[in-house]
Amino acid sequence: MSFIQIIEVKTSNLDKLEALHEEWLAATEGKRTVTSELVCADRDNPGTYVMIVQFPSYEAALANNDLPATAKIAEGIAALAEAPPVFRNLDLVRSD
């Protein structure tokens, strides 16, 4: 069963957040278990971004979480965020 994590971040530093993501991509090449990732800007709340990250399973997400580069990007996101990031951990029930 696919696992999806939604991360909501409020920041005025999207460029720095994207630079962190590029570093993470390079550091996790061939190791990460993410199957897809979307970054969305909230039209109703400027400066609020939602990341939708999909994994093949919850176990794969845990393995990805254990990568040192994932810990590094999480610290970077927290430093750039104007409030603590909000996480939603979801098991995919249906996809049409």
Q: Where are the domains of the chain?
A: 3-91
Q: What is the pLDDT of residue 84?
A: 95
pTM, full prediction: 0.91
Give which of 65, 43, 51, 55 is closest to 8, Cα–Cα.
Answer: 51
Task: Classify strands 36-41 and 86-91 as parallel, antiparallel or unpaired.
Answer: unpaired
Low-confidence ranges of the chain (pLDDT < 50): none
Beta-bridge partner residues of 7:
51, 87
Q: What is the pLDDT of residue 32?
A: 97
Tokens representing 87?
Answer: 């996480």
User: Cα(11)–Cα(63) distance, rounded to whole angstroms?
Assistant: 27
Cα separation values, 95 from 7, 55, 66, 76, 79, Å: 20, 14, 27, 32, 34
What kind of fold does domain 3-91 have according to CATH?
A: Alpha-Beta Plaits (3.30.70)
Q: What is the predicted pLDDT for the residue at 90?
A: 98
pLDDT of residue 1: 86
What are the tens digits of pLDDT across the range 10-34?
A: 999 999 999 999 999 999 999 999 9
Determine the pLDDT at residue 92: 94
Query: Is the separation of the CB atoms in 35 and 52 below 8 Å?
Result: no
Per-residue pLDDT, 17: 95
